Amino acid sequence: MMLRRRLLAAGLAAPIGAACAARDDYAEARRRLLDEIERDMRATAGTTGRERLDPRIAAALGNVPRHRFVPAHLAGRAYENRPLPIGHEQTISQPFIVALMTELVDPGPADRVLEVGTGSGYQAAVLAELVAHVYTIEIVRPLGERAAELLKELGYVNIDVRIGDGYLGWPEAAPFDAIVVTAAPDHMPQPLIDQLAPNGRLIAPIGSRYGIQRLQLLRKDAQGRAVTRSVLDVRFVPLTRQR
């Protein structure tokens, strides 16, 4: 797996993964987490339709240093398979859910992907390992600015971060091959459906801001018709709108 970092921009490539992990204090914790995610994939295969992770996605999860995306005092818990607080009443998602949502949108190496809800930047980093370009929107300015700074520091050159209302999408960058929504609206946002390319995939948790939501996967066919299927019960922070 080649990380899209500054060396790639210069026409070079720097392999990471196993060699990097060997020098990584968190390597064993990351390996255990990937094993746990695989177990969760098997346990939920009856409803998700995915029994195991694509090896590309497993490699991406192994490459991204999740401990850099949580507050410093929580770094020791970064590879637990659970959400963690990142401030401003927001969380970094459970790794299994990040893995599952990434899996369900079938990211391809030439894809252009929109993420709604940058948060810590972790999901954007995972996607950036797999696709050509990621556009990510965060409504909470301090979170968005912090994520942009960290992603730049880690060398990601194929991620653009915007501060704004993710419900409205990123019209001037559309259409997108995939859209990942990491906060819960009460319905599938029409602007996002409109910005999805033919044969595109949109994953979002839909439901009440105070209860359990349902992860829904929308696919747009070659003629632009949208078909949605329900995947799994989840719990996300609500999608915040500008007032």
The one catalytic residue among 93, 120, 208, 230: 93
Q: Is 230 a catalytic residue?
A: no
* Distance, CA of 191 to CA of 81 (rounded, Å): 32
Whether 222 and 175 have beta carbons less than 8 Å apart is answered as no
What token pair was written down for 209? 């801001």
Whether 83 and 91 have beta carbons less than 8 Å apart is answered as yes
Question: What amino acid positions are annotated as catalytic residues?
Answer: 93
